[in-house]
Amino acid sequence: MANTRAWWKEAVVYQIYPVSFFDSNGDGIGDLNGIYAKLDYLKDLGVDVLWLSPIYRSPQADMGYDISDYRDIDPQYGTLADWDNLIKGVHDRGMKLMMDLVVNHSSDEHEWFLQSRSSKDNPKRDWYIWRPPKYDAAGNRQPPNNWRSVFQGSAWDYDEKTNEYYLHLYVSKQPDMNWDNPDVRQAVWDLMNFWIDRGCDGFRMDVINIISKVDGLPDAPITEPGQPYQPASTLFANGPRVHEYIKEMNKKVLSAQDLITVGETPFTHEASELAAYVLPSNKELNMVFHFELMDLDSPGVPLIHRDWKLSEFREIVGRWQKYRRSEGFWNAIFIENHDHSRAVSRFGNDSEEWRAPSAKMLAMLEISLGGTQYVYQGQELGLKNFPRSWGIKEYKDVASQNYWNRQVSILTERRARSDGQDIDMSDVLDGFAKKARDHARVPMQWDSTDQAGFTTGTPWMRVNEDYKDWNAATQLGFQDSVLTFWQQALRVRKSNDVLVYGDFVDISADHARVFAYTRSFENTTALVILNFGEEVVSFSLGSQQDWSRFSFVLGNYQVASPEPAQNPIRLEGYEGRLYVRA
């Protein structure tokens, strides 16, 4: 089943974070015409599909993931006419375009919410999730339950006008819609069709697994004693009617089209829960973004770093590669996006010496795994996290800001109690330097002119100072660059179906530094050997195959006489090799 061919399985999707991609008019903010200007760059890279993070009209409380008009473009990005022009440019080049569908919540400035909050008997009251207050023993007004918002304190905001609270699992300006109301669902199907009719080729669906909340909205169990608000994802992720709603979406919208669909599915560690969205027999989505790899270097709290082990990394990748393939489960292969710091800083080595080799090694990992390939803007250049020396004011993300403010207030309280203690935030900044979403959101590095060629004005976010050496212009056409390597690597993927469809076998044999595997499809087998460390290593191939029949296809080092595969293989620091036996 997993071997059933489809265009969207073979596609390379490139995620654009529009605000930081390319500014065409000098206001410091990337825009649709800026994307248009770079279409040939993307085509030459080997991209098939563009996914745009949200560009709809929005107050930008969470960088456009708070939409106030689903049928219009935010003026900072351009106009609907610019979008029409962009989609034409995309289609003319044989590429496709996906939009970000953010419909668990809207902006509090959306007309629907303005109406909803206007009175208890407004016809749209029930489009959002309103509940009366609770009162504690002392008679103080309290939120309806103890749920914690993902980015701030209580998940409820009090609205004086009608003396009720509304639910927002993200910030206050992102009220959750009530998907149990069929009119809400119809409104979503309508807006999806609005974009499909205009030419959109698919959707990335923001936090789509949290649209159905547990009936009655009970308190979350106390897992963090002493805290007023508790993590509640067990009560809102993969809720009771989520599959009913996505099946309805499929039936009413998706099934009539040949689209690419990917759901973002956080807060879920049970594979079978995710399979339900993806297995073709369920008729829901093409694939989902699971979070296991992305959560690997956090102790459960996003902005804190933990060291990870290669054995853990291999286990996660391998398990998903093999997961329910005979039933048609399909993976989304990604290692970067706008919600995570840079892959070369997390899973590679961003020191001067190892940055390029490890970025290329990670590219080899990506192009040799089974699933639809996603590349995040700047990943193809080996862009890394910005320096630890940047202060808190450079972190623009509401998640970073809220977390910071919360830590400041905790420490301030503590100081008031134990008096005199200095407030030391350096450990918080240590965490941010490794983990903050901001690292992926700095301007794209196009060339070595001012502001990395991103804008002629003042960029909305500071440009990483390494841009003089690390940018698209200096890498383009330069034989040893990370960009040239990505171009080659994507060509290799496209000319070897085994890399898209093949069955995965981990042959690492518990090596401390090496991740090695084979992929097999029809009569072809690919062999991938990746060194995840700086040291030179020797790796012994087992007796699974006649390795002498494998020819060298791609590597991130010049290899003198790489054919056929030697056994044992000696690998330089962060060296990767790909062999294929035809």
The distance of closest approach from Cβ of residue 197 to ligand GLC in the complex, given in angstroms and rounded to an integer, is 25
Give backbone dihedrals phi and psi of 165, rounded to 5 degrees, phi first: -105, 150
Q: Give CA–CA dist 263/247, Å, rounded.
A: 13
Tell me the number of residues near ligand GLC by CB under 6 A.
9
Nearest Cα neighbor of 65 from 287, 266, 278, 276 is: 266
Q: Which of 82, 206, 295, 575 is catalytic?
A: 206
Does residue 27 interact with Ca ion by CB under 5 A? Answer: yes
The distance of closest approach from Cβ of residue 101 to ligand GLC in the complex, given in angstroms and rounded to an integer, is 11
314/338 with CB nearer ligand GLC: 338
Q: Give CA–CA dist 3/162, Å, rounded.
A: 55
By a kind-dependent CB cut-off of 5 to 8 A, residue 207 interacts, out of ligand GLC, Ca ion, none, with ligand GLC
Q: Give CA–CA dist 281/328, Å, rounded.
A: 8
Give backbone dihedrals phi and psi of 150, rounded to 5 degrees, phi first: -65, -35
The dihedral built from the CA positions of residue 223, 227, 232 and 233, taken in this order, carries a sign that is negative
3-class DSSP state of 101: strand
Does residue 483 interact with ligand GLC by CB under 6 A? Answer: no
Select the residue whose beta carbon is closest to ligand GLC and give its number. 65
By a kind-dependent CB cut-off of 5 to 8 A, residue 538 interacts, out of ligand GLC, Ca ion, none, with none
By a kind-dependent CB cut-off of 5 to 8 A, residue 29 interacts, out of ligand GLC, Ca ion, none, with Ca ion
Name the DSSP letter for residue 250.
H
**What does the per-residue mask of binding to ligand GLC show for 237-276, with x meaning CB under 6 A?**
---------------------------x------------
* H or E segment to which residue 554 belongs: strand 551-555
Q: What is the DSSP string of 418-476?
A: H-S-----HHHHHHHHHH-GGGGTSPP---SSGGGGS-SS--SSPPPGGGGTSSHHHHT
Does residue 203 interact with ligand GLC by CB under 6 A? Answer: no
Choice from 82, 248, 336, 339 touching ligand GLC (CB under 6 A):
339
Choice from 147, 170, 404, 446 touching ligand GLC (CB under 6 A):
170
Sequence letter at residue 549: R
The HSE-up count of residue 213 (CA atoms within 13 Å, CB side) is 22
* H or E segment to which residue 518 belongs: strand 514-521
Sheet holding 130-131, edge to edge: 130-131, 164-167, 156-159
By a kind-dependent CB cut-off of 5 to 8 A, residue 25 interacts, out of Ca ion, ligand GLC, none, with Ca ion
By a kind-dependent CB cut-off of 5 to 8 A, residue 31 interacts, out of ligand GLC, Ca ion, none, with Ca ion
105/355 with CB nearer ligand GLC: 105
Q: Give CA–CA dist 357/569, Å, rounded.
A: 18
Angle at 86 between CA 16 and CA 290, to 5 degrees: 30
By a kind-dependent CB cut-off of 5 to 8 A, residue 65 interacts, out of Ca ion, ligand GLC, none, with ligand GLC
Choice from 13, 16, 167, 207 touching ligand GLC (CB under 6 A):
207
Sequence letter at residue 382: G
Concerning whether 244 is annotated as a catalytic residue, the answer is no
Q: Are strands 56-57 and 141-142 parallel, antiparallel or unpaired?
A: unpaired
31/62 with CB nearer ligand GLC: 62
Choice from 65, 166, 291, 504 touching ligand GLC (CB under 6 A):
65
Tell me the number of residues near Ca ion by CB under 5 A.
5
Q: Which of 100, 264, 297, 350 is catalytic?
A: 264
Does residue 33 interact with Ca ion by CB under 5 A? Answer: no
Sequence letter at residue 64: G
The distance of closest approach from Cβ of residue 28 to Ca ion in the complex, given in angstroms and rounded to an integer, is 7
What are the DSSP E strand ranges found in 128-231? 130-131, 134-135, 141-142, 156-159, 164-167, 202-205
By a kind-dependent CB cut-off of 5 to 8 A, residue 285 interacts, out of ligand GLC, Ca ion, none, with none
Concerning whether 40 is annotated as a catalytic residue, the answer is no
Nearest Cα neighbor of 125 from 114, 140, 139, 138 is: 114
Does residue 62 interact with ligand GLC by CB under 6 A? Answer: yes
The distance of closest approach from Cβ of residue 75 to Ca ion in the complex, given in angstroms and rounded to an integer, is 10
Can you tell me which residue has the tokens 């494998």?
A: 550
Alpha helix locations (H) across 495-557? 497-501
Footprint of ligand GLC on residues 73-132 (CB under 6 A)?
Answer: 102
**Residues in touch with ligand GLC (CB under 6 A):** 62, 65, 102, 170, 206-207, 264, 338-339
Which residues are identified as catalytic?
206, 264
**Residues in touch with Ca ion (CB under 5 A):** 23, 25, 27, 29, 31
